[in-house]
Amino acid sequence: MLNIPTQSFPAAGSQQRVAPSGQSGRNKVALKPGHSLMDWIRFSKSGKDLTGLRGRLIEVTPEELQKHNTRDDCWTCIRGMVYNVTPYMDYHPGGEDELMRAAGIDGTELFDKVHRWVNYESMLKECLVGKMATKPPTVIKAIMPPPPPTGLTPPISVAPPLDKDSRPRYDWFQTDVTVHVVVYAKRKIPGSGCTTVDLEAGSLRLEVLLGKMSYMLHLRLADEVEGNVAVHTAFSVGKIQVSIRKQTKVKWTSLGQPLEFHNTFLRKKDRALYYRDCVLVSKTEVNHNTHVFRLQLPRGTVMHVPVGKHVYLKALIQGTEVVRPYTAVDQNLAAASHHSQESDLYLMIKVYPDGLFTPHLNSLHIGDHISVSGPEGTFSLRPLRDVTNLYLLAAGTGFTPMARLIRLALQDIDAIRETKLLFFNRQEEDILWRSELDELAADNERFQVEYVLSEPCEQWTGRTGRVDESMLKDFLSRPEGSKCYVCVCGPTAFTELTIGLLKQQGFSEEELHAFQG
C-alpha cells in the first residue's frame, strides 16, 4: 500500500484507502513542522488541559454542542461522547475544513464514512468533554383509533416486509469425529476470499462477504474441538462448508450457544472490525526502503484476502492505538493463481524513518506479534469480466494492489488481451519488483511495463517527468472493438490528477477505479 500519510477523521495518517471507481479522496494538507501524529501523541500526553474544563466531565445538551462550532472553539460528538477537537486542528492531515464539517454537531456518520476503524477513544481521550445528555422519554397518551367504516378494510402498513428468502441461512451436521457448518448464500459467490473463519477458545466466528453485505455466524461451540479448519466453497451455487474435528467422539445435541451478532446479515460498513493475533515469520528486502512482511495467521483461522482488498494492522505505540491499512500481495509475481492452505499473509511496505507506524513494524523481530483485521475495501472484479485492455497506472508503493491484478489478468481472465503498467517513481532504485516485472514482460506477450522517473540519472533512457495529458495519450489506446478498464493508485495528488486527465480523454466512471492514497 501507499506508505504516505492520508486524510483521516480523527486519526492522522494512513498508508492507503480504497475508493469506489472513479472517486477521488479528500485532499491532504501540508502540516506545519512539528505537527505529525507522533507530535500529537506527545502533545496530548503533556498534561495540558485540552478540553478547557480543567479535568471536569460534563453532560452536553444539543443546544450546548451547537454553540461550539467555530475554528477556535470546536466540539463534536462521536457515538454519544463529546470531544473538543480544537487542539487537534493543526495536527489533522485532512485539514481543518474536514474537521469543521462536524463542528457543533454529531459527527458519527462522517467519522464512519472516512475512518470507522480508527480508535478515536484512544486518539482523543485527552479531549473528552463528556457525554451527550439523554432526553427523558416523552410520554404519549395512547388513543384508540375509531373503527373503520363498514365495508372498508383497515389501512395496510407501508413498510415492506423483510425479504427472508434472500437472506443467507445455515445448517449443520456431524459425524463421530467431525462437525460441519454449511452456509447457503442463495446467490453465486464471485470468487475466493469471501469467507473468513476464526476458531478460538471454543468459539466459532464465520463471516461471509457478499458484495456490500456481511453474513456472520458466531457461536460458543457445544464441545471442544481441534484447531484445524477446512473451508470448501461451491461458488456457482453459493454453498460454503466449514469442517472442524472434534476432540472427543461424542454426539452433540446442538451446535452451540449464540454469541453477539450470530446469524446476522448487515452492511459490511456496519460490521465492527475483528482483529486476530498474527506472528511475523519473515521479512524480505525488496529495495533500499521496502520489505515484504510475511505474517502467519493463528491456528484455527482461515482468511484469504481477495485481489484489490486490504487489511488493517493495529499496534499500541507510546500508549496510543495506531491502525494502518495495507494491501496484500502474493509472495511474488509468479505466485500460483490460487492460494494454498498455508496461513500466511504477505504485505509489501515502505518504511519511513520519520514515520510512526512503519518504524515500529520494522523494529519487530521474527516471532513477534501484531494484530490484523479481516479483508476490507470496495474493489470488485465484476467490471473486469468483459475487459479486453487493462491499464494500470501506479506511483511508488501504489504498485501493491497492481501486483495481484497483473497476475490475475494473465492467469485467470482469458478475455484480457493486453495488460499494461505505467509505473512512476523518483529514481531507479525505488522501482519495486523491477526484475520480476521485466521478466514477466519478456515471457508474456500480453503484458507490457514502462517506467517513468521524476529524478532520473544521466544514463536513464526511459520516460521521465510526471503524469500529464500527452503521456497518457501515448500510453493508452482504444483498439476498435475493445473494452478498456483503468486502475490508478498513488499519492492523492497523483490519483486525482490522473483520474481528471483520464476523464478528459473520454474514460467514463464505469471504466475507472481509484485505489485512493
Q: How confident is the model at residue 274 (pLDDT cuts 50, 70, 90)?
A: very high
Summarised one tens digit per residue, pLDDT across range 15-46 is 333 343 333 344 455 667 777 777 888 888 88
Ranges of beta strands (E only) in 286-352 are: 290-296, 301-302, 310-317, 320-329, 344-350
Please name each of the domains of the chain with its CATH number. Answer: 37-132 (3.10.120.10), 167-270 (2.60.40.790), 275-373 (2.40.30.10), 382-516 (3.40.50.80)
Summarised one tens digit per residue, pLDDT across range 94-124 is 778 888 998 999 988 888 776 666 777 778 8
pLDDT of residue 454: 96
Q: How confident is the model at residue 375 (pLDDT cuts 50, 70, 90)?
A: very high
pLDDT of residue 208: 94
Report how far residue 291's alpha carbon sits from residue 287's, in angstroms, rounded to the nearest whole number: 7
What 3-state DSSP class applies to 150?
A: coil
Cβ-proximal residues to 246 (8 Å cutoff; 6+ apart), any chain: 174, 176, 177, 178, 179, 223, 224, 225, 226
Report CA dihedral (275, 276, 281, 283) to the nearest 10 degrees: 0
Summarised one tens digit per residue, pLDDT across range 195-254 is 999 999 899 999 999 988 999 999 999 999 999 899 999 988 999 999 999 999 999 999
Q: Which residues pair with 285 in a beta bridge?
A: 291
Report how far residue 162's alpha carbon sits from residue 167's, in angstroms, rounded to the nearest whole number: 9
346 touches 272 (CB < 8 A): no
DSSP 8-state class, residue 332: S
Global pTM reads: 0.76
Comparing CA positions, the residue from 438, 444, 497 lying closest to residue 466 is 497
Comparing CA positions, the residue from 291, 273, 297 lying closest to residue 377 is 273
Summarised one tens digit per residue, pLDDT across range 462-514 is 999 999 999 999 999 888 889 999 999 999 899 999 999 999 999 999 999 99
356 touches 8 (CB < 8 A): no
Report how far residue 181's alpha carbon sits from residue 338's, in angstroms, rounded to the nearest whole number: 23
Comparing CA positions, the residue from 84, 339, 323, 331 lying closest to residue 195 is 339
The string over 32-60, giving b where at least 16 C-beta atoms fall within 10 Å of a residue's C-beta and e elsewhere, is: eeebbbbbbbebbeeeeebbeeeeeeeeb
pLDDT of residue 4: 34
Summarised one tens digit per residue, pLDDT across range 310-336 is 999 999 988 888 899 999 999 888 765
C-alpha distance across the termini of the chain, in Å: 8
Report how far residue 220's alpha carbon sits from residue 259's, in angstroms, rounded to the nearest whole number: 7
